[in-house]
Structure 1
Amino acid sequence: MSTWGIVSFVVLAALTANSNGCPDGWANHQQSCYFFSQDKLSWTGAIVVCKLLGGYLVEVQNDLEKNFLHKTISQQDEHYWIGAHDAVKKGSFVWATSQEPVSDNVIVRSPDNSRNNERCVEIDNNGKWNHNDCMAVLQYVCERPANIEEMVG
């Protein structure tokens, strides 16, 4: 199946909400819903798909959320894009959607930018954060409010 075929399927599946206020295929945690992709996209591609799904690339706000993501991702042998980047100023991490600075207390390990062209942040199955080239294709985590009406109002 092509990337756009997968995207179309994902978008259609996201339109059906279940009893916890999250679309089918999304996990509920506190007041948010999380979609852990099976497909792989570039970081910017992941941002586009998350937006199509009514959300955004996940923004980790506290230890509870960080631990939830780590627990869920640790069951996979994959790396996932999250919404952090330092594309504007090297070493100054911000969230792609809110443009808020990434809190130092949620960063598990400072990304290393080992190839000096890595601006986007991934989280691995050990819960560690790392820089990667934004064009690399990885799985991704989308987030949206559990009550979709919050996004409208």
Structure 2
Amino acid sequence: MSMEGRPNPGAPAEEKGGCPRLSPWAVLIPALIFKACITCGCLVILHKQSREAHRTLPETFPEWHCAQGMPGSKELVWTCCPMGWKAFQTSCYYFSSDVMSWDDSEKNCTAMGSHLVVINTKAEQDFLLKWVKEMLADLPVKMYYIGLTAQEVEGQWCWVDQTPYNKNEAFWKPGEPSDPILEPCTALQVNSKKQARENWNDLACFTDLYRICESAPTCI
């Protein structure tokens, strides 16, 4: 009898349709590896975003106070200020309990990732005035440095963050500034018995006063 056309008993049987069947592990293992890579990538991105979010203010602050939402924004984000700082609109504010010269005050604010406060609006001025009055206690007058100084040559007033000086949004006391050359630094002079919004006073920068620092809040 001819051997042609008879199957070889030692040869493996052919799969129907001519295609070999894949093991389930051949599909499952690459899928698990791919998923693990995606997960690791996401964790790296989230960690980087977290580090970036806290760049504005140092992470050395032990506690943070957070509130949901940013004024004027429809995004559901959390804005955070360090404990002990006051939040208003898009900034965090620190009111010191010790006194320093203007230069040392600015260095102290910078070391905390902020700068001496820059006042842009009546609303911001009123907010600062309110908090200073609450901290006056038994003191009739209290003075806080702000980030406004006069240039030595021209006597032109400048903010520490390069915000243009707007005389229409300046809140000088009557008769001030009196001497931008000899008194080139500025402070809030708050009287517990008066509600006057106009309370800026120019003075010599070596005077030891309290200070107000300002920084953008952390968003998470």
- TM-score higher than 0.5 here? yes
Partner of 1:142: 213
Larger Rg: 2
Aligned residues: 137
Shift of 1:90: 4.3
- Contact kept? 1:32, 1:144, Cα under 8 Å: yes
Alignment of 1:46-85 (within 5 A): 46-75=105-134, 76=136, 77-85=141-149
Partner of 1:104: 167
Partner of 2:184: 119
Task: Extract unaligned runs of 5+ from structure 2.
Answer: 1-57, 68-79, 192-196
Shift of 1:117: 1.4
CA distance in 2, matches of 1:25, 1:12: 15
| One-letter amino acid of the counterpart of residue 209, structure 2 | L
What is the CA RMSD across the aligned residues, in angstroms?
A: 2.2
Shift of 1:74: 2.5
CA distance in 2, matches of 1:105, 1:74: 24
Tell me which moved more, 61-70 or 87-96: 87-96
Residues 47 and 148 (structure 1 numbering): CA distance in 2 closer, same or farther, change over 3 Å? farther
Q: Deviations over 1:95-147 (max 9, x none)?
A: 02x22332112211242128x51110011114410111111000000000122
| One-letter amino acid of the counterpart of residue 146, structure 2 | I
Shift of 1:28: 0.5
Partner of 1:94: 158
Percentage of matched positions with identical amino acids: 28
- Contact kept? 1:92, 1:101, Cα under 8 Å: no
Task: Extract unaligned runs of 5+ from structure 1.
Answer: 1-10
Residues 54 and 117 (structure 1 numbering): CA distance in 2 closer, same or farther, change over 3 Å? same
Shift of 1:78: 1.0
Q: Deviations over 1:30-52 (max 9, x none)?
A: 11100000010100101011011
What is the TM-score normalised by the length of structure 1?
Answer: 0.79
Which stretches of structure 1, 4 residues or more, deviate above 3 A after TM superposition?
Answer: 11-15, 88-91
Residues 45 and 18 (structure 1 numbering): CA distance in 2 closer, same or farther, change over 3 Å? same
Partner of 1:45: 104
Shift of 1:70: 1.4
